[in-house]
Structure 1
Amino acid sequence: MAQHASLPGRDIHRIVTMALRCETVDGIAPFNEETTLALSRGPSPERMHFVARQDDKVIGYAGAAMVGEGAEAELAVDPDHRGHGVGSALLAEILGWLEAHITNLRVWAHGDRPAAGGFAAAHGFTRDRVLFQFSRDLEGFAWPSAWPEGIGRNWPVGDARAVEIASGVRLRPFRVGRDEAEWLRVNAAAFASHPEQGRWTAADLAAREEETWFDPDGLIVAEDEAGLLGFHWTKVEDGVGEVYVLGVDPRAQGTGLGRTLTLAGLAHLAAHGIRQVDLYADESNAKAVELYQSQGFAVVRTDVQWDKRLR
């Protein structure tokens, strides 16, 4: 077992290869976007990589990061090496690195599989947070009969009620190099109580802007004279669309802007030939769950975050 503040390219390749093997067997990727992006980041005192090897192969990997007084981690073991203590050894290494510096450790289990739940419970973790993945086909979607002036180029229309927005509010695409500070402000305000999204930094945003899937036209913002009011950031990979992040500034919450932005992002995806759209929402976010279900989205996967109090 080895600890690394940063990873050499050969190890990154081997970890990605192992992750693909896990996905093939389990039917779900073992790591989320943050863990995947962190594989290639430079060293940080708040993050550590743990690698289990056999000969020249990686048979297990865990990434952990300190977040305030707590820590978060993800780990996976190659399917051919499960049941032999590799996962327990990775977890022990994480806890040894953290020592007495944190109050609790949170670990994601993607897909809510019984084996992962059994592992977590056996090591003293409790079920703490549930994340739903929703999905729907846009075929037959109830599109509005009209869009506000100035937007909706090639966007679909239908028989549903026309989209209206408040006077002085307009929708437009994100402007790279100009909107970052305002976007970060609204994101922080909209997700002030969210354990992950609300703490995005300028570096986090810049990293996404450098991703091959990033399209500023697919990041639709709402603004008035005082600044940004909200945004719907869409994402497309392998022909599947995603409601990547949808946020509304507190001063515009309760006005229906969230629903309008949702429709605008879906219309943008449909205008670009996308038919399947996925999104994620916390089980505890009842308003978001209700909104997406009202628009025909159904739960297709459940992820669970397990928590262990350490002191």
Structure 2
Amino acid sequence: MAQHASLPGRDIHRIVTMARRCEEADGIAPFNEQTTLGLSKHPDKHRRHFVVPLNDSVIAYAGAELVGDVAEAELAVDPGHRNRGVGDRLLTSVLDWVKPGAVAPGAAELRVWAHGDLDVSKRFAAAHGFERARVLFQFSRELGGFPWPAAWPEGAGKNWPKGEAPAAVLADGVRLRPFRSGRDEAEWLRVNAAAFADHPEQGRWTAADLRARQEESWFDPDGLLIAEDDEGMLGFHWTKVEGGIGEVYVLGVDPRAQGTGLGRTLTLAGLAHLAAHGIQQVDLYADESNTKAVGLYRKQGFEVVRTDVQWAKPLTRG
């Protein structure tokens, strides 16, 4: 089993090919966006790639990263090579790396995402001493019949749909506009960090993380809606479109604007932007523990179509 600080292009291709085979067999992709983008990142002493090659292919892969005293990982084994101990050896390699000595200061806990909440993942997690720690719901709904507001505030886009629901409003002095690439990055990062200060992933985005998304083929600055007043950015709704399906990618509100109804208006604005561009289906993600958001999305007609689980295992140090 090979361990790398960074990956050559041929290995990235082989890992992506293996991931597609997993998706075909399991009905769900084995890696999230963070892991996929991490395949091509520059070397970092706090990140490692674990690759199991066979001839000219890769039959298993794990990506691991140390964040403070917590290690996070995702791993997958090619469907044709499962139940042969490959996953066990892959996990052992990850555990050996996150211990103190291999990487400072070492991890107190390992967290692993399993997408789809599959029975095979549950069995693997239980066999290795992991416990269910976090649940992420994917919601989805068709926009046909959505209860659109009767009016939109300043900065609304052209052709945004209208209906009979209460008007979408903003506080005095607040307006909407699209994101401006090359000008808004620093302010966006500030609001994102403040809005997601308690979120284990989103709140720690760096300029490099933002730039990586801006370089993706799906990025559209017009689909990243900004709410601002004379003092600066107050919130944003970043929408995403891939394969003809829209997504509430990131929705954030600065603490100084929370409780003003801005989140609701931004949510509606992003959905209207997608509808005005012909999008019929929209997906979004919310933590099971965020009961307020889960309740809001259910009231808006969104239904859970997928469940991802993060499994956690405490590690002995010393």
Same fold at TM > 0.5 = yes
What does residue 91 of structure 2 align with?
91
CA contact (8 A) 1:259 1:291 kept: no
State the one-letter code of the partner of 1:74: E
* Aligned-pair CA distance for 1:91: 0.4
CA contact (8 A) 2:238 2:250 kept: yes
Aligned to 1:42, the other structure's residue is in SS state coil
Distance 2:267 2:155 in 1: 17
What does residue 80 of structure 1 align with?
80
Deviations 1:223-270 (A, max 9, x none): 111111110000000100000000111111111111100000000000
Q: Which segments of 5 or more consecutive residues in structure 2 lack a partner in the other structure?
A: 101-105
Residue among 117, 139, 142 paired with 2:122: 117
Deviations 1:99-125 (A, max 9, x none): 221100000000000110110111011
State the one-letter code of the partner of 1:113: L
State the one-letter code of the partner of 1:88: D
Aligned to 1:303, the other structure's residue is in SS state strand
What does residue 224 of structure 1 align with?
229
Map residues 1-311 of structure 1 onto 2, 5 A cutoff: 1-100=1-100, 101-311=106-316
Aligned to 1:205, the other structure's residue is in SS state helix
Distance 1:53 1:182 in 2: 43
**TM-score normalised to the size of structure 2?**
0.96
State the one-letter code of the partner of 1:188: A
* Aligned-pair CA distance for 1:149: 3.1
CA contact (8 A) 2:238 2:251 kept: yes
Aligned to 1:92, the other structure's residue is in SS state helix
Distance 1:152 1:18 in 2: 42
Deviations 1:123-158 (A, max 9, x none): 011100000000000011111111113323111111
Distance 2:57 2:156 in 1: 52
State the one-letter code of the partner of 1:212: S
Aligned to 2:49, the other structure's residue is in SS state strand
Aligned to 1:189, the other structure's residue is in SS state helix
Deviations 1:2-38 (A, max 9, x none): 1011111111111000000000110000000000001
Q: Which segments of 5 or more consecutive residues in structure 1 lack a partner in the other structure?
A: none
* Aligned-pair CA distance for 1:303: 0.2
CA contact (8 A) 2:240 2:246 kept: yes
* Aligned-pair CA distance for 1:49: 0.4
CA contact (8 A) 1:106 1:306 kept: yes
**RMSD between aligned alpha carbons?**
0.8
CA contact (8 A) 2:238 2:249 kept: yes
CA contact (8 A) 1:222 1:231 kept: yes
Structure 1 vs Structure 2: percent identity of aligned residues? 75
CA contact (8 A) 2:133 2:311 kept: yes
CA contact (8 A) 1:132 1:301 kept: yes
The count of corresponding residues between Structure 1 and Structure 2 is 311
**TM-score normalised to the size of structure 1?**
0.99
Distance 1:47 1:140 in 2: 46
Aligned to 1:255, the other structure's residue is in SS state coil
* Aligned-pair CA distance for 1:160: 1.1
